[in-house]
Copies of this chain bind each other. A is one copy, B any other.
Amino acid sequence: MAELTHIAASGEAHMVDVGDKIETIRSATATGYVRMLPETLALIREGNAKKGDVIGTARLAGIMAAKKTSDLIPLCHPLMLTKVSVDIAEDDALPGLRVTATAKLSGKTGVEMEALTAVSVACLTIYDMAKAADKGMEVGGVRLLEKRGGKSGIFRAED
């Protein structure tokens, strides 16, 4: 039966012991979006076409945040990520920007929190850089798309 592994038998929060887990190649991909006014997307696109700064800054912020995951999420283990990538695409239908992040390592525990943290901080950075023009932006759809490696094998989000 499902259980909350961070809750000890006695009910207190603890960091799960992963010492006995197998060291395998693990990866996780997460996604999310920032919904904004069409004018805001146009402003970013224009700036982006010329300089790439909103998107470039958010991408770096996401990559750097993935490395801080165990500092932000109280019960996450410190990990030695071997790869982090963040992609940001314009979506006129939203309208807004869609962020996708992948984290990877060879280790004893999964990296979904690292991928989700990269997505969240990239989205927050987009908000920060465009908020002078649009305070009503919304971050949403932040979820795990795929997870590989470890005992539980492959997870793929249903659509």
A92, CB-defined interface residue at 8 Å: no
Main secondary structure of the interface of A (DSSP, over half): mixed
Assembly of this chain: how many copies? 6
Across-interface contacts of A59 in B (CB, < 8 A)? 12-13
- Determine if B73 and A125 form an interchain contact, defined as CB atoms under 8 angstroms apart: yes
A97, CB-defined interface residue at 8 Å: no
Report how far A52 CA is from B133 CA in the complex, Å: 24
**Closest Cβ neighbor of A11 among chain B residues:** B51
Across-interface contacts of A155 in B (CB, < 8 A)? 135
Contacts of A65-114 to chain B: CB distance below 8 A = 65, 67-68, 70-87, 104-108, 112-113
Residues of A near any B CB (own CB < 8 A)? 2-8, 11-19, 25, 32, 39-40, 43-44, 47, 50-54, 56-57, 59-61, 63-65, 67-68, 70-87, 104-108, 112-113, 116-117, 120-121, 123-125, 127-144, 147, 155, 157-158
